[in-house]
């Protein structure tokens, strides 16, 4: 639980996908780790509160990465020559296989955790590998950062190389229980477990059924991939001839229903039935535009999902996406939505920058509860950003400064402070 203070600066946050709020030289008040709201002047009764003076800097909610793979961090920016299924066989599985070696995992996860701490991300939903001890080590390292994360030990018992396949559904489930037991013993404050069947092609029906039981028994969230690539969708049809759509291969085993949410990455090719399943279950969609571009996967109809009132956030999908930056993900989300509008379906308007900002803050944040906004009662996750090196002779409004930061972050944007649940992280 964080303390009580006010952050003074130029404050921007989303009220909704459609509404961006901006207060120049305002006060964002934190009480016991929770936002009390944004004020033009300090409210009566708070005159004596500690004020962290960041005048002239941008203050925005912490960013939420709904989908990335920690063990793929080492080869990001490499192997962008293939589509999904060949990319997995050629680049991804060999690298994930190396994480059987705890020493290798330790070194690689240290780099990942350190870089994530210094990024604009405050919360993330993360894939590990099938390996129990290395995944626990990843969780230990993330716990130390103070970031809030969900981390999953991956389940895979078919269609994977010998070195990265669990022996049977039973063995996979028993390792998952072992992992969950160890997580319980460690008593993490910031790091929570999430069930993680890699995707339907990697998991037998028996394993999927067992994970569904585990989810019901322990009320655990779940993450996976859905309708990312056309060959993958076709393969699932062959593997599960009983299903009428890919989404059903999760729904049938209880992976989407219940009062604890799930998150499905991509959702580029969902038929109407699948969209209804996702919407009805409150499932979160992790939109990963850079990955979808680099693996030539496709473009998700995010405008449609937003208009239907579905839960949508952004993911970097390291290492399908090369960049850990959610500002880059926002810019890419806007860019691909424009290409989709022009080349695929002119009935779906492109996303605006402020809508992409919403997806990276409150949109994905709600997977974690009241997260991603500065409205009263939200957990106090905040970034202080220095945009002074992004020089221009124009007089920009606060909204325009935020827009420039989204597109130009890599050319001199700087994170000055990072708060998670009211606690200032050491960056």
Question: Could you list the residues that contact Zn ion (CB under 5 A)?
Answer: 265, 317
CB of 292 vs Zn ion, minimal distance in Å: 10
Of residues 232 and 379, the one with the C-beta less far from Zn ion: 232
Phi and psi at 330, nearest 5°, equal -65, -50
Q: Which residues of 87-124 are buried (b: 16+ CB within 10 A; e: fewer)?
A: bbeebbbebbbbbeeeeebbebbeebbeebbebbbbbb
Which are the contacts of 324, defined by CB distance < 8 A and separation ≥ 6? 68, 73, 76, 115, 116, 119, 121, 316, 318
β-bridge mates for residue 417, sequence order: 384
Burial class (CB in 10 A: 0-12, 13-18, 19+), 381: buried
CB of 214 vs Zn ion, minimal distance in Å: 21
CB of 25 vs Zn ion, minimal distance in Å: 41
Of residues 36 and 123, the one with the C-beta less far from Zn ion: 123
Of residues 23 and 286, the one with the C-beta less far from Zn ion: 286
Of residues 67 and 123, the one with the C-beta less far from Zn ion: 67
- Enter the DSSP assignment of 101: S
CB of 94 vs Zn ion, minimal distance in Å: 17
Burial class (CB in 10 A: 0-12, 13-18, 19+), 359: buried
Reading the block at residue 412, the tokens are 């001199």
CB of 320 vs Zn ion, minimal distance in Å: 6
CB of 224 vs Zn ion, minimal distance in Å: 9
Task: Give the closest residue to 60 by CA, choosing from 335, 326, 427, 346.
Answer: 326
Of residues 275 and 295, the one with the C-beta less far from Zn ion: 295
CA 37 to chain centre: 25
CB of 317 vs Zn ion, minimal distance in Å: 5
Of residues 274 and 317, the one with the C-beta less far from Zn ion: 317
Give residue number: closest CB to Zn ion.
317
Of residues 29 and 70, the one with the C-beta less far from Zn ion: 70
Preceding omega of 319 cis (within 30 degrees of 0): yes
């Amino acid at each position: 639980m964080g303390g009580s203070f006010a952050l003074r600066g130029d404050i921007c946050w989303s009220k909704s996908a459609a509404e961006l709020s901006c207060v120049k030289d305002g006060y964002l008040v934190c009480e016991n780790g929770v936002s009390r709201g944004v004020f033009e002047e300090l409210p009566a009764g708070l005159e004596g509160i500690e004020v962290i003076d960041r005048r002239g800097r941008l203050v925005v909610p912490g960013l939420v990465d709904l989908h990335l793979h920690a063990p793929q961090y080492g080869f990001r920016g490499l192997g962008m020559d293939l589509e999904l299924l060949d990319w997995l066989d050629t680049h991804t599985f060999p690298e994930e296989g190396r994480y059987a070696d705890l020493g290798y995992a330790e070194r690689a996860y240290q780099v990942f955790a350190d870089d994530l701490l210094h990024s604009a991300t405050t919360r993330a939903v993360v894939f590990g590998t099938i390996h129990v001890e290395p995944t626990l080590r990843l969780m230990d390292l993330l716990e130390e950062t103070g970031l809030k994360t969900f981390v999953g030990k991956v389940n895979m018992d078919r269609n994977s190389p010998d070195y990265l396949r669990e022996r049977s559904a039973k063995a996979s489930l028993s390792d998952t229980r072992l992992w969950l037991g160890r997580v319980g013993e460690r008593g993490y404050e910031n790091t929570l477990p999430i069930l993680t069947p890699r995707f339907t092609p990697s998991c037998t029906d028996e394993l999927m059924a067992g994970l569904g039981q585990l989810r019901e028994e322990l009320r655990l969230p779940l993450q996976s991939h859905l309708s990312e690539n056309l060959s993958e969708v076709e393969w699932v049809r062959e593997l599960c001839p009983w299903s009428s759509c890919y989404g059903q291969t999760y729904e049938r085993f209880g992976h989407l229903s219940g009062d604890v949410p799930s998150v499905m990455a991509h959702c580029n090719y969902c038929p109407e039935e699948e969209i209804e399943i996702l919407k009805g279950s409150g499932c979160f969609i992790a939109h990963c535009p850079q990955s979808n571009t680099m693996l030539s996967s496709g473009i998700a109809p995010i405008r449609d999902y937003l208009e239907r009132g579905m839960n949508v956030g952004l993911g970097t999908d390291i290492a399908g996406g090369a960049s850990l930056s959610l500002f880059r993900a926002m810019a890419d989300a806007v860019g691909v939505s424009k290409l989709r509008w022009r080349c695929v379906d002119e009935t779906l308007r492109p996303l605006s920058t402020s809508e992409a900002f919403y997806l990276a803050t409150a949109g994905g944040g709600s997977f974690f509860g009241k997260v991603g906004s500065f409205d009263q009662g939200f957990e106090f996750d905040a970034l202080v950003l220095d945009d002074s090196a992004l020089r221009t002779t124009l007089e920009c409004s606060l909204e325009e400064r935020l827009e420039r930061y989204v597109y130009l972050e890599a050319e001199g944007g700087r994170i000055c402070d990072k708060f998670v649940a009211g606690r200032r992280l050491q960056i």
